[in-house]
Structure 1
Amino acid sequence: MEIKLPGYFKYVVILLGLILLIWLLQTFKAILMPLAFALLFALLLLPMTRDMEKWRVPRALAIICSLVVVIVVLGLVIWFISMQLASLTSELDTIGNNFDKLLIKVQDFLHDKFGIRRSNKSEFIQNTFGSLREVSTTFLGSTISMTTGALAAFTVVPIFVFCFLYYRDHLQQFLFKFVAKDRRAYVMHTVDNIQSVVQSYISGLMIVIVIVSMLNSAGLLLLGVKYAIFFGVFASILTIIPYIGIMIGATLPALFTLATTGHLIDAVLVVLVFMFVQFLEGNFITPYVVGSKVSINPFAAIIALLLGGEIWGAAGMILSIPLIATLKVIFDAYEPLQPFGFLLADIDEVKTQKSGQFKQLFDKLREKARRKRREEELEEKLEEKQEQEQ
């Protein structure tokens, strides 16, 4: 006997399931977060590993070579950023003195023009930034925690990546255990489609970051900004955050330029450079490199970033964009979940899909009209031929 439950009961169960999922993600963060990073790197390294295997390189050796390449590249990036930060911290005293002079000029201007009382320097710092001791203590504790977590992740993630790539055939057979034999071909096609789209999206995103970092650095170098390459790379990484990333990426070098030169026009030029690069990235670079295979609307991306930061902190914010892109591909591939894929899609992608559908429909109608016209012409020729024979 079939039991029918009310509709609201289903939504209550879904809500409880989401709450349970968030609780599990936060509780088992130490295990799930390295697994998520390992899965992301495994998808990136899978094409390279397959190419080496085609050259008759053993699978284990191919995976190790791919991991060595990634570790070397990441090590060079971390070394460069650490060297730039070390050089930047050596000029903090100079930057602080320049900010003090600039603050005095602004206070004098506000007092002369608007009669606003000059505030004490220490009072201003205390009201703006709070207690320096509490901030430093919190920062030191979080730094130690992040360093410990990063060291643990660097040792565990490569092992997980190796296992994902080495046992990928076994994992595929494990997936087939849940699917009927007549449905395995469809499931395999869907999995391959998801895998290829996610790979192209993540690799395209990396290429966009490299191109944007080169453009940012070139623009800052033309303006004569110190540490231009560091600020260019830092801002390019932040471009994955819609709207907010470009604001943060442009604010830091603009403030640094204002502190070092003392001229507002120099800071404005820095902001204009980042705005121009952002315009190129949004309208030309990303559509050309990433393409229209998957595109997330900014609202969904911002929500994903906030949720990722709330659940897993900075690591969650890094993983949120690839994860939401993966979910969109899965939603689009599974028909009952396609409305959620439509909700996550960018407006331009929806318009492109609609225009493509309208174009296909128009081509079908035009081809149908041509066939009908040809049939009418053939009938007329047959009738004329019959009349001539008579």
Structure 2
Amino acid sequence: MEIKLPQYVKYVMILLGFFLAIWVLQTFKAILMPLVFALLFALLLLPLTRDLEKFRIPRALAILCSIVMVVIVLGLVVWFLSMQVMSLTSELDTIGKNFDALLMKVQDYLYHNFGIQPANKSELFRNMVGGLREMSTTFVGSTISLTTGALTVITIVPIFVFCFLYYRNHLEQFMYKFVSKERRGSLNHTIDNIQVVAQSYISGLMIVIVIVALLNSAGLLLLGVKYAIFFGVFASILTIIPYIGILIGAMLPALFTLATTGRLIDAVLVVLVFMFVQFLEGNFITPYVVGSKVSINPFAAIVALLIGGEIWGAAGMIISIPMIAILKVLFDAYEPLRPFGFLLADIDEVKEKKSGRFRKMFDKLREKAKKERYEDDQEVEQ
């Protein structure tokens, strides 16, 4: 028996629930953040695990193989980046000398054109050393804390991923306990949509990262920038932070080029390369690869990015877009929350101008998810 409440009471309760959810996310960050990352990885690995199980591989072994493959790929990326960083440290002496010469040029320019007296070099050096000492103390403390937290996450996330995949049928039956049999069809439809949205976004993002890495590296190689592949890959990885990630990634190679060559035009050319790649990524690559399956308007995406960063820091910024896409699916499935789903929707979706090809692909993925879940149900019944 449902209790009828006035509309304003429902929306007040929804807003209170929103603020309560933010409080819970901040308070239980150490537990919920690994769970959310594990859930996204589990959704990404679910098709691979099911394919392995079709070859009569035991579920536990299929899940372990999937996790090991991901760990190997991530390990190779981390190894490559660490080797490049170690090689990059050999340039520190050259960078220091060039920055010193560049500083002298700037001081001479300011003195001859604006009459600003150059700062005492020894005093400036003492101030820089004092600042670096204070920064190093803070940096060491934060690094120890970050490393400890990272090791904890790296250890526990694979365990959570294994549990989500191994007990997926049990978790699905658990959700059925909250709804009547008449509404299970709607629940299945919502689960299928969440699965398709999460898988499409994460897999599409991986493809975008590879394409952007190739474009970044090619542009930097044409300019003759040292460690072009490292800077290209590093900036492409930062695209997981929407809108601002690739801009942050462009700053490091631009400053490095300015320090090694001492010419401002070279740094400007590096920035122009990244701006061009950003233009291609935002207008052609991401819309073509990811399509309209994560149809969130830019304003909602930016707000989600800020809220995610405020709640969970960099990790919250990374997962803010897929999580808000999943929330939109839930909002659209529940009648009182549909206005919020409309608020998050992209204007093209509202006007129903989606590409027929992408809609067909979306429906195909959803049908595949339904078929795979039906096979899992058959296994449970047996």
**Do they fold alike, i.e. is TM over 0.5?**
yes
Which whole-Å CA distance do the structure 2 matches of 1:355 and 1:28 have between them? 39
Residue 345 of structure 1: how far off its partner (Å): 2.8
Deviations 1:77-109 (CA, angstroms, capped at 9, x unpaired) = 111111111122232232122111111111211
Q: Does 1:79 align with 2:79?
A: yes
Residue matched to 1:140: 140
How far the C-alpha of 1:67 sits from its partner, in A, is 0.4
Matched, 1:153 2:153: yes
Match of 2:370 in 1: none
- With over 3 angstroms needed to count, the CA separation of the structure-2 counterparts of 1:200 and 1:242, relative to structure 1, is closer
Counterparts of 1:191 and 1:200 in 2: how far apart (Å)?
Answer: 14
Q: Which residue of 2 aligns with 1:345?
A: 345
Alignment of structure 1 residues 209-358 onto 2, 5 Å: 209-351=209-351, 353-354=352-353
Residue equivalent to 2:171: 171
1:22 corresponds in structure 2 to 22
Aligned counterparts of 1:106 and 1:154: Cα–Cα separation in 2: 46
- Partner Cα separation in structure 2 for residue 48 and residue 89 of structure 1: 40
CA distance in 1: counterparts of 2:127 and 2:325, whole angstroms: 41
Contact 1:216 1:277 in 2 (8 A): yes
Match in the other structure for 1:37: 37
Any conservation in 2 of the 1:216–1:232 contact (CA below 8 Å)? yes
Secondary structure at the counterpart of residue 225 of structure 1: coil
Could you say which residue in structure 2 is the equivalent of 1:361?
none
Instruction: Answer whether contact 2:39 2:164 (CA < 8 A) is retained.
Output: yes
Give the aligned partner of residue 103 of structure 2. 103
Q: Which amino acid aligns with 2:46?
A: L
Q: Which amino acid aligns with 1:61?
A: L
Matched letter for residue 188 of structure 2: M
How far apart are the structure 1 equivalents of 2:264 and 2:131? Answer: 29
Give distance in 2, aligned partners of 1:72 and 1:19. 39
Residues 281-334 of structure 1: per-residue CA shift (max 9 Å, x gap):
112111111011113333322322222222222222222222122212322333
Confirm or deny: 8 A CA contact 1:42 1:161 kept in the other structure: yes
- Structure 1 residues 169, 224: closer, same or farther in 2, change over 3 A? same
* Aligned sequence identity (%): 79
Evaluate the alpha carbon distance shift between residue 285 and residue 122 of structure 1 in structure 2; reply closer, same or farther with a 3 A threshold: farther
Contact 1:295 1:349 in 2 (8 A): yes
The one-letter amino acid paired with 2:107 is Q
Alpha-carbon RMSD across the aligned residues, in angstroms, is: 2.6
Unpaired segments of 5 or more residues in structure 2? Answer: 357-382
CA separation in 1, counterparts of 2:295 and 2:101? 46
CA distance in 1, matches of 2:303, 2:129: 28
The normalised TM-score by structure 2 is 0.85
Match for 1:29: what amino acid? K
- What amino acid is the match of 2:106? V
Q: Which consecutive unaligned segments of at least 5 residues does structure 1 have?
A: 358-390
Determine the C-alpha separation between the residues in 1 that align with 2:14 and 2:331.
Answer: 16
Distance 2:6 2:341 in 1: 26
Partner AA of 1:155 in structure 2: T
Alignment of 1:111-122 (within 5 A): 111-121=111-121
Aligned residues: 355
CA separation of 1:240 and 1:350: change in aligned 2, threshold 3 A: farther
Using a 3 Å threshold, how does the CA distance of structure 1 residues 230 and 347 change in structure 2: closer, same or farther? Answer: farther
The structure with the largest alpha-carbon Rg is 1
Equivalent-residue separation in structure 2 for 1:128 and 1:243 (angstroms)? 33
* TM-score normalised by L of structure 1: 0.84
Structure 1 window deviating more from structure 2 (10-19 vs 54-63): it is 10-19
Instruction: Classify 1:117/1:86 alpha carbon distance in 2 versus 1 (closer, same or farther; 3 Å).
Output: same
CA contact (8 A) 1:294 1:329 kept: no
1:97 counterpart SS class: helix
Q: What is the Cα deviation at residue 114 of structure 1?
A: 2.4
Change (3 A) 1:108 1:345: farther
Q: What does residue 375 of structure 1 align with? A: none
CA contact (8 A) 2:292 2:354 kept: no
**Cα distance, 1:64 vs structure 2:** 0.6
Distance 2:14 2:7 in 1: 11
